[in-house]
Amino acid sequence: MAFDDLYQEIILDHAKHPRNKENLDFISDDEVHENPTCGDSVKLAVDFSQDGKLERVRFDGDGCAISTSSASMMTEIVEGKSKEEVLKMIKSFILIMRNESESSLDDFGDLIALEGVIKYPLRVKCATLPWHALEDLLA
């Protein structure tokens, strides 16, 4: 049933116990990314290592299970990758979620659990919100 595809165990787990979610009150509200249709918001903080790789990504915000789990899994998968690599991943992830790509989420680790969201166009924005935020921060 599609509904259980949408809310797979792994999504519910990340939603209940988000990884790398911290209070980021030190970041001003101007830098919050918001989904204008629903009011969900996300803030990101990225620490880079000496060689310019993303050492740690933390997020804060208020979102549904889809956007929270997407943010949580995103912070895990981008760790240790270069800025260029991550920007490429973001582009690819967003296209896949919008169903505008031939590729699948096979190379995205646990994020494959979000494939069920593609069938719910209204929820795609929830899944991509943190990715747009990271793209803006890196660009």
Q: How far apart, in whole angstroms, are the C-alpha atoms of residue 3 and residue 41?
A: 24
CB of 47 to other proteins, least distance (A): 26
Q: Which of 17, 84, 99, 104 binds other proteins (CB under 8 A)?
A: 17
Q: Which stretch binds other proteins (CB under 8 A): 7-15, 84-92, 101-109, 129-137?
A: 7-15
State which of positions 55-114 bind other proteins (CB under 8 A): 62-66, 68
Count of residues that interact with other proteins, criterion CB under 8 A? 27
Dihedral over alpha carbons 129, 106, 9, 127 (to 10 degrees): 10
Q: How far apart, in whole angstroms, are the C-alpha atoms of residue 115 and residue 8?
A: 10
